[in-house]
Amino acid sequence: MILDQHQSSNYSQIQSQQYHSKSRQIETEEQIVKFTIRQDFLNLLAIAADYQAGLNLQGSQKNMEQIITMLHNKLILQVNLSSSIHLDQQQQCKNSPQLNETLIKEKRDVENFLKSIIKEKKFAPQIEKHLKSYLDNCLNDYPRLVNDPLNPVKNKAEFNQETIQKLFCSISQTDQKYSDIQRGKVQAKELSQSDIDKHIEERLHAAHHKLQDRQERGCNICQLI
């Protein structure tokens, strides 16, 4: 009898440990979904802000056509990439009601943020077109793959060491954030409309100065990352 009680107690402990372990795993996966959707949205807005900064300078700076085309292409590429990310997230979450619910909620939050941005006309019409594509194809409950073609560029693309280092640094930082989330060190940062507005303004300001500096140095390549 005592042995049976001991075995029952051990079994209960094992069940409890398994439950808490599974619960932690689900919480971690939820945080990864949140981070992925939010970061992708912020990436989109950053590149849209770069493009907007280029358009703002177009009338006052010379030889901006090539830069404008490259900035436009970056936005096209980002929407194409975002559609793949959202498709992947749908596949990852479809077999888990809890994760799928988290994914849908994140999409609705981003959708509301983006609709507010579009309503306030923060970006030029040629940028807004791509934001609406993101809205329709990526934030849909059943995302669709976008594969819009790039605009032709006159000059051959050039990449210097500084640009490559910045790219690798950005990838490394993102990987580190995923690692920290998986280890339970951090959680996905919550987004607010004021945070998003600040993100856009800061990126616009930074891109404006980079583009002006490029013009002053006579640089023919776009190094906005």
Q: Could you report the per-residue pLDDT of 164-194, keeping only the tens digit for each? A: 677 778 888 999 999 999 998 999 999 999 9
**Number of independent structural domains in the chain:** 1
Instruction: List the structure tokens of 65.
Output: 């056509």
Residue 191: DSSP 8-state = -
Digit-coded pLDDT (tens) for 114-166: 999 999 999 999 999 999 999 999 999 999 999 999 999 886 655 556 666 77
Residue 9 lies in a domain: no
Asked, for residue 222, whether it belongs to a domain, the answer is no
Residue 160 inside a domain? The answer is yes
Decide if 48 is inside a domain: yes
Contacts of 219 (CB under 8 A, 6+ apart): none
Phi, psi of 10 (to 5 degrees): -65, -40
Question: Residue 6: its pLDDT value, please?
Answer: 54
Q: Which two tokens stand for residue 107?
A: 């999409």
Asked whether residue 10 is domain-assigned, the answer is no
pLDDT at residue number 225:
44
Residues 144, 137 contacting (CB under 8 angstroms): yes
Please say if the pLDDT value at position 8 is more than 60: no
Closest CA to 113 of 203, 174, 40, 51: 40
Q: Which domain holds residue 78?
A: 28-217
* Domain contains 177: yes
In tens, the pLDDT along 46-92 reads 999 999 999 999 877 777 888 999 999 999 999 999 999 999 999 99
What pLDDT, on the 0 to 100 scale, is given for residue 12?
53
Does residue 225 belong to any structural domain of this protein? no
Q: Which pair of tokens denotes residue 118?
A: 């579009």
11 found inside a domain: no
pLDDT band at 14 (very low <50, low <70, confident <90, very high): low
